[in-house]
Amino acid sequence: MERVLAIALELLSAWFALAFLLIVLPSIFGISLGISELYLKVLVKTLEWATLRIERGIREQRRETLKHTASNVIIQRDHTTMEEANAGLRRGDFELSDVFYFCKKGFEAIVEDEVTQRFSSEELVSWNLLTRTNVNFHYISLRLTVVWVIGVFVRYCLLLPLRVTLATIGIGSMIVGTTLVGQLPNGETKDWLSDLVHLTSSRILVRALSGNIYYHNKENKPQKGGICVANHTSPIDVVILTNDGCYAMVGQAHGGLMGVIQRATVKACPHVWFERSEMKDRHLVTKRLREHVANKDKLPILIFPEGTCINNTSVMMFKKGSFEIGGTIYPVAIKYDPQFGDAFWNSSKHGIVSYLLRIMTSWAIVCHVWYLPPVTREEGEDAVQFANRVKSAIARQGGLTELPWDGGLKRAKVKETFKEEEQKNYSKMIIGNGASSSKQADSD
């Protein structure tokens, strides 16, 4: 028994030593040995072959169905306003046919809701050999089944243990490193060490995800004293961005593993974590953020104005609070490649540990990050208009659908104010037409 235990310890030591020498040590110096790039090339070739096998194994009719359903769109919406839809039908102050517009919009929402479908995994055109992405391709041919089985073995028996090891090293180094740095007096040395710990830990965590991140337009990277705003798909968005630079994070305080990390990192870096009760106090949030931005020596603030994770296909409403602070806004667009893994975190369905397990059993995380030119609030532009302008720029750059809906609808019901606004618009339309009809009758 002692001999078996000794052998196990030797194997474990060799495993950690290999991981440290080949992955962790190069990560510390920001060097890549090309292993992940080679892995990705082999993976791309394998997925291309699998796609060809699928196309050959499916009948023409089946392929046509796949093409029509791959876009995940069931209906074609007619994006007309209430006034435009009812203009051709009305002859007086009120017509029963006006009801058809509201019935049509109601049926559209029932058949395919624009909001809730943004909180489910993105549908792929073809199978990427992960059963979670498309259950229709479990069996196409014997060769494809063999490749799928080999892929399961590689992902769960080889990659998962390695990724868990690297994630443990990365998270552990972040917690221990920031705790130790937090004991130092404030100054340049502390700031430098804090940046080093954050960068090193993030680089290790990116390796733990087999991440290949492509950063574009680095000349527009956020600067100190500014505010970085980005679309939000996953908690690993923070790791993706911190891998290329340090930020002061802003967000809600969590419990569990996330809470341990938050409490450790705030000791070394001026992150701003809010309790749930404080998040509802807009004035308190704005005050603390303005104090941070006013200090031009502090790291740029990183904010996700959507307030929740969206499924990598769209950008939803940006809350205006981030755009009321003042200062320079640095927009960032983040787009994951779904071919290699689904980065979206459906927090209402999966806990953080379950989500990380899904991520670590994917093929890889491939992501593009675009740094957009910095913008400031224009004269006469209110916070909502400014937020919408930044959101539109991010959506265009990332190839994402721009939606006006609040991501809070993921868990909450539609606010009564939205319903009242539609009722007011209809009332104004009726009153306006009624007034014009009365004038016309008087003139006659």
Cβ atoms of 321 and 285 within 8 Å: the answer is yes
Winning range, highest mean pLDDT, from 111-120, 209-218, 351-360, 428-437? 209-218
pTM: 0.77
The string of pLDDT tens digits covering residues 288-339 is 788 878 887 888 989 999 888 888 888 988 988 888 887 889 999 999 998 8
**pLDDT score of 391 more than 70:** yes
- What is the DSSP secondary-structure string of 206-219? HHHTTEEEEEE-GG
Cβ atoms of 141 and 53 within 8 Å: the answer is yes
| C-alpha distance from residue 266 to each of 184, 235, 280, 439 (Å) | 13, 17, 21, 67
Which alpha helices (DSSP H) does 58-132 contain, by range?
Answer: 60-69, 82-87, 98-111
List of domains in the chain: 170-410 (3.40.1130)
Strand, coil or helix: 29: coil
**pLDDT score of 8 more than 60:** yes
pLDDT at 435: 45
| C-alpha distance from residue 160 to each of 36, 157, 237, 258 (Å) | 15, 6, 21, 21
Give the lowest-confidence range in 78-82, 102-106, 115-119, 389-393.
78-82
Q: How confident is the model at residue 83 (pLDDT cuts 50, 70, 90)?
A: low
The span from the CA of 392 to the CA of 402, in Å, is 7
